Amino acid sequence: MLYCENWEKIQGKFLEYWARENHDRPILAIEAPKDHVEKMPGSSHTSLKERWMDIEYLLKKANWKMQNTQYYGEAFPAYSPDLGPDLFASCYQTKIQFGETTSWSVPWLTDHDVEAYKEFTFDKQNEYYKKMIEMTKAAVEDGKDKYVVGITDLHPGADGLVSMRGPQNLCYDTLDNPTFIQKGVWDLNKGFEDIYSELYALTTKYQRGSTCWMNIWHPQRWYPVSCDFSCMISKDMYEELIVDEIEKETEYLDGSIYHLDGPGALKHLDRILKMPSLGGVQWVYGAGQPTASHWIPVIKKIQTAGKCVHIEVEPQELEIMLKEVEPEGVMYHITAKSEYEAKELMKLAEKR
């Protein structure tokens, strides 16, 4: 690929990662700004929505980022078209509002809607999903022989319900109408499989395998599974309302990694590690929390369960991580401040 000279070797390392057979060192995705960075393309859009939906501008910005980033270890250039975390919910009558760096849903399900619930209307003809198909097709053509095109951010299951109902109301529903949640997550599961299949078919026109916002490569269909809503409910509710649908997602995919976000979700880790088809866990300790080296017992617990690990690591922590954690099935993503720092980190890892 134009932006990655050793793509074949990187793919081989990811095969080792998924099999937990990377015995020499952990998988390292280290990115650094090039020493001489060019100016980022400017925006003259009249609204945030216009900027988010401007495919030509987005591709220019993506190429600019890849051209001005140096990739080390198993880091690779990838672009996943993005309209924010609530794109999936837009296929169920949910409107999206755009901010400077993210977007959010406008919850619309009323108490009456929940009480009278039968099933959701699945509609891929809304403006956001149609735009995502257009964006993905354009990225596939632009990225041919240059970079890997990923599948956009999708949040089915209970997180999809949160987008439509709002987190506070969905918390009430766990007590007042749990049947709605149980039925709703299964309705959304059908939509997830439909959307993923369509996007996977598009992105594999010129490339083998798949990636997404996590920038992990798999030779077939892989995707993160998650339930950020889980931090707001008990272990019993998680078991009753959430687990079966997430396990169905892992069974549909060829590879999966659970996006475990924040200390509030850690109470569910034991149950997550029992999911037979789950490939791994991404531990996100969260802003304001101790960084990776403070969570080594969590990492080892995931490893002991026979699952892969993905975690963000600060550059100054790599040495202790290399010393304390075995490499098999472990991936560290590191953002270096410079090419020099990135090279020094690679030298440290190779000494292991």
Q: Please, is 304 exposed, middle or buried when counting C-beta atoms within 10 Å of its C-beta (0-12, 13-18, 19+)? A: exposed
Task: Say if residues 311 and 288 touch (Cβ distance below 8 Å).
Answer: no
What pLDDT is attached to residue 81?
Answer: 98
How many Å apart are CA 171 and CA 162, to the nearest integer?
9
Count CB atoms within 10 A of the CB of residue 72: 18
| pLDDT per position as a tens digit, 251-283 | 999 999 999 999 999 999 999 999 999 999 999
Q: Count of domains in the chain?
A: 1
Residue 1 lies in a domain: no
Assigned domain for 2 exists? no
Residue 193 within any structural domain of the chain: yes
CATH assignment of the domain containing 262 = 3.20.20.210
Is the pTM value of this prediction over 0.95?
A: yes
Q: Does 242 reside within a domain?
A: yes
Helix (H), strand (E) at residue 21? none
Residue type, 153: D
Identify whether 156 is part of a domain. yes
| Residues 124-144 pLDDT 10s | 999 999 999 999 999 999 999
Q: What sign does the dihedral 320-326-328-329 (CA atoms) show?
A: negative
Q: Is residue 106 a contact partner of residue 94, using CB atoms and an 8 Å limit?
A: yes
> Among the residues of the chain, which ranges form H helices?
7-19, 48-53, 55-67, 87-90, 111-115, 127-143, 157-165, 167-176, 178-203, 235-237, 243-252, 269-272, 296-304, 318-324, 339-350
Q: What is the mean pLDDT of residues 145-173?
A: 98
282: in domain: yes
User: In the prediction, which pLDDT does 351 show?
Assistant: 87
Q: Which tens digits make up the pLDDT trace of 223-250? A: 999 999 999 999 999 999 999 999 999 9
Rounded to an integer, the average pLDDT of 116-125 is 93
What integer is the mean pLDDT of 96-108?
97
Q: Is residue 83 part of a domain?
A: yes
- Write the pLDDT tens digit of every residue in 302-349: 999 999 999 999 999 999 999 999 999 999 999 999 999 999 999 999
pLDDT 10s digits, 172-201: 999 999 999 999 999 999 999 999 999 999
User: 261: helix, coil or strand?
Assistant: strand
Considering the domain boundaries, does residue 58 fall inside one?
yes
Domain hosting 86: range is 7-350
pLDDT level of residue 8 (50, 70, 90 thresholds)? very high
